[in-house]
Amino acid sequence: MGMGEPGSPLAAFYHSIHDKLEEALAPTASSVASEKKAQSVCQFYSTLIPQDKSIFLTTLAANYGVDNHKVHQISSSLSSAQDRGVETLLRAQEKLRQALVPRYQALFSQISALDSGVKFLVDLRTDILGLVPSTEGPDVHYLKTMNSCLRDLLTLWFSVGILNLERITWESPCDMVQKISSYEVVHPIRNWLDVKRRVGSYRRCFVFTHNSMPREPLVVLNTALTSGISNSIQSIVQSPQSPSGSGQTEKSPPSESKEEDPECINTAIFYSIISTQKGLQGVELGNYLIKRVVRELQYEYPSITQFSSLSPIPGFRDWLMGRVNSHLHHEDEDDSRRSNLFQPSEVCDLCEALECSESSMYKTLKKLLATNAWIQNERTTEAFKRPLIRLCARYLYLEKHRGFALNPVAHFHLKNGAVMWRINWLADVSPRGLTASCGLMVNYRYYLDQTESNSENYMERQTITAAEQVLLLAEQTER
């Protein structure tokens, strides 16, 4: 990024950035002085407009990283240091280690010691993540390196041992209740009655907080206490408070009951998990929160023996539309070039329900999927059921990215050791659910005695552990 013509406003701005950073990074023996310098940098950055923040971050990344000349000098001396004994070699290695620490890491450490300094750095990383995609040339590599450095520091500062687990209830501070309401994007909260339901009887809302960011939820986990593994999100977020969630409840108190009946509870359903801070992307929090909540619920209700998610499938409809478009693009070519999505019996059922010929089926199908109009007709809905469930199993179980599950929610739960257990038809018929996944949702089940081995198999061997019903569906599919 150029500095502009000498004497220009842009050149003057670059000089002001360098002056501010050089002052902040100048050695000082006083912790008070160091704190004031760090505070000055934060105040300076906070007053900048987005375009100027981009210049600041690029300058910081490119000019205040590792001193390559110094690293080269020390590296060159390592071979001769080895001949002069272990003590000399270790001193040279320590010098190299220190030289490899970028200068901006010292600034980040200074800022972290300030009140609200860690929150400033979380927001700073949000800005870096937003800047990377639009940056080109060498600058993008400098930014990525600085992002990795800051992510590693945040991972250390937000380690699970120093996070606080809090349960949010209707009696919690109003600002916390408001925040968990505004952060909920998986199943949006419509009003205060909705909020009250989700933190009330047979529901649990847990958050992780950090002492350096008080009253700020870092990750939010919403859980329903039910009498079976839920197959519909409507039964959880729209029904009156009760343990019902699967349509198979054996004992269920009246909907107006406010007291929880332990005899009606044997299952915990994790139906929404939200990371609230983009700047903490890549910092493992959600998986630790689930593990902590499992322990809390086991202590509160020993009768809970089943732990499962009821998860959305973001991207399934887009993937399906891509396969339909691929078929249409190659429909005039030989069969080997066309995507073979549907089985012969499914084609017959779809053509009959859509009242179209086989040659026009894909065009009709594309229109109905794009508008969600298929859900408005009972006959069409029934014809869609078998192929969509089967193709969803293919998408979740067979479609991969670098060997891992392509779907990000699947990857999250499988990485945590869950089993891909059941695909649920019309589990989320909200506009959001239909648009994301044609209304389908999936249960990822946590068998506590198997999570460690499942996680190891997935992360080390990319093996997805799935229930027989999912495997049978996936095996029916032709790639």
End-to-end CA distance of the chain: 46
**What does the alpha-carbon distance between residue 290 and residue 274 come to, in Å, rounded to a whole number?**
12
User: Which parts of 26-112 fold into alpha helices (H)?
Assistant: 31-46, 50-63, 68-82, 86-99, 103-112
Cβ atoms of 217 and 183 closer than 8 Å: yes
- Please state, in angstroms and rounded to a whole number, the distance separating the CA atoms of residues 141 and 325: 36
User: What confidence category does residue 1 fall into, taking pLDDT thresholds of 50, 70 and 90?
Assistant: low
CATH code of the region 161-309: 3.40.630.150
Domain 316-475 has CATH 3.40.630.150: yes
pLDDT at 37 over 90: yes
CATH topology agreement for domains 161-309 and 316-475: yes
> Is 326 considered catalytic here?
no
Whether the pLDDT of residue 317 is over 90: the answer is: yes
Asked if residue 132 has pLDDT above 90, the reply is yes
Look up residue 337 and give its two tokens: 């070039």
Q: How is the beta sheet containing 306-309 ordered, strand by strand?
A: 163-168, 203-210, 219-226, 267-275, 306-309, 441-446, 419-424
pLDDT of 26 strictly over 50: yes
325: enclosing H helix or E strand = helix 316-329
C-alpha to C-alpha distances, 35 to 81, 117, 200, 283, 315, nearest whole angstrom? 38, 10, 44, 26, 46
Catalytic residue check, 212: no
Question: Rg of the chain's alpha carbons, rounded to an integer?
Answer: 27
Tell me the CB-side half-sphere exposure of residue 91, using CA atoms within 13 A. 8
Q: What is the CATH number of domain 9-66+101-157?
A: 1.20.140.90
- Residue 300, C-beta contacts closer than 8 angstroms, at least 6 positions apart: none
73-83 in b/e form (b: 16+ CB < 10 A) is ebeeeeeebee
pLDDT at 81: 73
Contacts of 36 by beta carbon, 8 Å cutoff, 6+ apart: none
Q: Which helix (H) or strand (E) holds 364?
A: helix 361-371
Taking residues 282-298, report their average pLDDT: 95
- Burial group, residue 479, by CB count within 10 angstroms (0-12, 13-18, 19+): exposed
The set of residues, in sequence order, having a beta carbon less than 8 Å from that of 210 and lying 6+ positions away, is 118, 157, 158, 162, 163, 164, 216, 218
Would you kindly state where each structural domain of the chain is located, as residue ranges?
Answer: 9-66+101-157, 161-309, 316-475
Helix 103-112 vs helix 138-157: crossing angle, to nearest 10 = 40
Please give the Cα distance from 332 to 315 (Å, whole number): 28
Each residue of 175-224: pLDDT tens digit? 999 999 999 988 988 888 899 999 999 999 999 999 999 889 999 999 99
In sequence order, what are the residues at sequence separation of 6 or more whose Cβ sits closer than 8 angstroms to the Cβ of residue 150? 108, 121, 124, 125, 128
**What's the mean pLDDT in 383-400?**
97
Kindly tell me if the per-residue pLDDT of 255 is higher than 60.
no
Pair of tokens at residue 169? 């209830």
The pLDDT confidence band at residue 111, using thresholds 50, 70 and 90, is very high
Confirm if 450 and 427 have CB atoms less than 8 A apart. no
Q: What is the model's pLDDT at position 89?
A: 82
17-31, 411-425, 429-443: least confident range: 17-31
The predicted model scores a pTM of: 0.88
- 340 C-beta neighbours (distance < 10 Å), count: 12
Active-site annotation holder among 187, 210, 327, 413: 413
* Cα separation, 136 vs 290, whole angstroms: 38
Say if CB 297 and CB 223 are below 8 A apart.
Answer: yes
Whether 248 shows a pLDDT value over 50: the answer reads no
Alpha-carbon distance of 250 to 50, in angstroms, equals 57
Query: d(Cα 350, Cα 373) in Å, to the nearest integer?
Result: 14
For the stretch 439-454, pLDDT in tens is 999 999 999 999 999 9
Residue 477 has phi, psi (to 5 degrees) of: -95, 145
**pLDDT score recorded for residue 246:** 53
Which pLDDT tens digit goes with each residue over 60-100?
A: 999 999 988 888 888 878 777 776 778 788 888 888 888 89
**Annotated catalytic residue: which of 308, 311, 327, 437?**
311
Calculate mean pLDDT across residues 405-428: 97
Q: Which DSSP string do the residues of 272-321 spell out, in sequence order? A: EEEE--GGGTTS--HHHHHHHHHHHHHHH-TT--EEEE-B--TTHHHHHH
How many Cα atoms occupy the beta-carbon half-sphere of 315 within 13 Å?
Answer: 9
> What percent of the chain shows pLDDT beyond 70?
91
